[in-house]
Amino acid sequence: MLGNFQQSQLRIEVEATAEAIRNSLLRSAQLEKWLPSGGFTTGMPEELHPGLQFTRKIGPFAIEHKVDIATSNSLRLLLSQGIDGFHEWYWGEGWVQSRIEGVTIFPISLGQTLSLLSLQQFLTNKD
């Protein structure tokens, strides 16, 4: 894989319940509404579950995702192709934390920041 090893961890406050955050991260229909820059290239089930594999296109680049862990307060995605690494999400009442590590040419921290801000905006305007 071309690129550099990068890592980033961010935590933000959101005006949302843990259940609303969970649904926004694990339910495909909600995930597609807030996730910036690119959609899914394959049909998605109603909810993410361990073992599920899917692809997201970001411009001309594809990122393969494999759901490693999906619980009531965490999600871990193994990444390959455009990013070789992982993306972990943790959440609770009023907060979301994202940790991503991998080798890529993409600016990981920028993408992560945009994703978290988009999720925060989605949850704020959801009512």
> Strands, DSSP E only, in 71-111?
74-81, 84-92, 95-104
pLDDT per position as a tens digit, 102-114? 999 989 999 899 9
What is residue 83's predicted lDDT score, i.e. its pLDDT? 92
Rounded CA-CA distance 107/111 in Å is: 7
What is residue 37's predicted lDDT score, i.e. its pLDDT? 63
What is residue 22's predicted lDDT score, i.e. its pLDDT? 97
pLDDT per position as a tens digit, 44-96? 899 999 999 998 887 778 899 999 999 999 999 999 998 999 999 999 999 99
Q: Which domains occur in the chain, in start order?
A: 4-124 (3.30.530.20)
Terminal C-alpha separation, the chain: 42
Rounded CA-CA distance 80/64 in Å is: 5
Average pLDDT over residues 117-123: 94
* DSSP reduced 3-state for 91: strand
pLDDT per position as a tens digit, 1-53? 678 999 999 999 999 999 999 999 999 889 888 987 657 766 789 999 999 99
